[in-house]
Structure 1
Amino acid sequence: MLVATVERLQILDFAEELGKMIIQSDVAEQYRRSFYYMKRDEKAQQLISRFVQLKERYEEVQRFGKYHPDYKEVTKQVRDAKRELDLYEPIAAFKKAEKDMQLLLDEISTIIGRAVSENIKVPTGNPYFDSLSCGGGCGVGGTCGCRTK
């Protein structure tokens, strides 16, 4: 049975306030703006659509690997489409904004986790943050080379 305490309610209020601050941040605004422009850019949508189609074809060819007759051609087409996608400015701007947003969320998660304990595991998916501490999973007290305090 979960009992709502004043302290717990205050923590939830702070979390809600933090969420609002994140939403109102420059990083979040840039993310939304770049997403908006990318979604409304016809060429960006064409490049994305083409890449998705090629990727589906690639996955089909991958079932047979290099023995599929179209393996080299499809692999090259996917690489070329990916390069074109990555270099197109509205898509590149969105990817950068997305990365910046993820970095902000990772930083916040790490700060909150460390406020509780240095051994709290924070699933950031970012090797920089993951390597800052042991994360409590090595079980050898830091002799593995991780940072412990």
Structure 2
Amino acid sequence: METLEAADMTQLLMESHELSTMINQSREVSDYLSAKRQMEADVEAQRLLALFEKKKEQYEDVQRFGKYHPDYNHISKEVRELKRTIELLDSVQAFKRAEDSLDELLYQVSRTIANAVSGTIKVPSNNPFLEAQSSGCGTGGSCGCSVKKPS
């Protein structure tokens, strides 16, 4: 009969600290921080983001009444247009690309750790395509899915 040993928490914490240091020294983190600084220095981006926050508050107010609020369509359209304008700014696009790249790195690290334990462990991601590639509901039951092993 095989004896299982408890995890050495001190060793695990030391190794996780080393891993986090490696991640923090990665090109992805460097690019992310640089893009974030550039976006924060972009006067137009900051002006539009502040305006978006105000419009979002108005949108949340009209949402309470939904389409029956007299300004619902107008405010909804303004929010969508402002969001699109923000998304078209170079500094915002660069930040989003850097953010996606960092998110993918963190997902891959998490996926590697999870797979070392079991291929059925779910690893959350901000990218639905990454989640769809690596997991199902896990039961293979009535939904018809089965857990997909990453290749």
TM-score category, normalised to shorter length? 0.7 to 0.9
Deviation at 1:99, TM superposition (A): 1.3
Structure 2 CA distance for aligned equivalents of residues 148 and 62 of structure 1 = 39
The corresponding residue for 1:119 is 120
The corresponding residue for 2:84 is 83
Q: Are the counterparts in 1 of residues 120 and 138 from structure 2 also a CA contact under 8 Å?
A: no
Query: Match of 2:115, SS?
Result: helix
Question: Structure 1's 148 and 6: CA in aligned 2 closer, same or farther, altered over 3 A?
Answer: closer
Unaligned runs of 5+ in 2: 1-5
Question: Structure 1's 85 and 148: CA in aligned 2 closer, same or farther, altered over 3 A?
Answer: closer
Q: Are the counterparts in 2 of residues 31 and 97 from structure 1 also a CA contact under 8 Å?
A: yes
Are 1:42 and 2:43 matched, yes or no?
Answer: yes
Q: Are the counterparts in 2 of residues 133 and 148 from structure 1 also a CA contact under 8 Å?
A: yes
Q: Are the counterparts in 1 of residues 62 and 72 from structure 2 also a CA contact under 8 Å?
A: yes
Structure 1 CA distance for aligned equivalents of residues 7 and 115 of structure 2 = 23
Question: Structure 1's 6 and 73: CA in aligned 2 closer, same or farther, altered over 3 A?
Answer: closer
Alignment-mate amino acid for residue 109 of structure 2: I
Unaligned runs of 5+ in 1: none
Identity of aligned residues (%): 41
RMSD of aligned residue pairs (Cα, Å): 2.3
The corresponding residue for 2:69 is 68
Structure 1 CA distance for aligned equivalents of residues 135 and 101 of structure 2 = 24
Runs of 4+ in 1 over 4 A off after TM superposition: none
Question: Structure 1's 144 and 51: CA in aligned 2 closer, same or farther, altered over 3 A?
Answer: same
Structure 2 CA distance for aligned equivalents of residues 90 and 34 of structure 1 = 7
Structure 1 CA distance for aligned equivalents of residues 146 and 17 of structure 2 = 33
Alignment: residue pair count:
144
Alignment-mate amino acid for residue 145 of structure 1: C
Query: Match of 2:70, SS?
Result: coil
The corresponding residue for 2:97 is 96
Q: Are the counterparts in 2 of residues 132 and 147 from structure 1 also a CA contact under 8 Å?
A: no
Alignment-mate amino acid for residue 146 of structure 2: C
Structure 1 CA distance for aligned equivalents of residues 101 and 25 of structure 2 = 15
Question: Structure 1's 96 and 133: CA in aligned 2 closer, same or farther, altered over 3 A?
Answer: closer
Question: Structure 1's 69 and 95: CA in aligned 2 closer, same or farther, altered over 3 A?
Answer: same
Query: Match of 1:17, SS?
Result: helix
Q: Are the counterparts in 1 of residues 35 and 91 from structure 2 also a CA contact under 8 Å?
A: yes
Deviations 1:66-109 (CA, angstroms, capped at 9, x unpaired): 11111121111111100110001111111111111111111110
Question: Structure 1's 129 and 80: CA in aligned 2 closer, same or farther, altered over 3 A?
Answer: closer
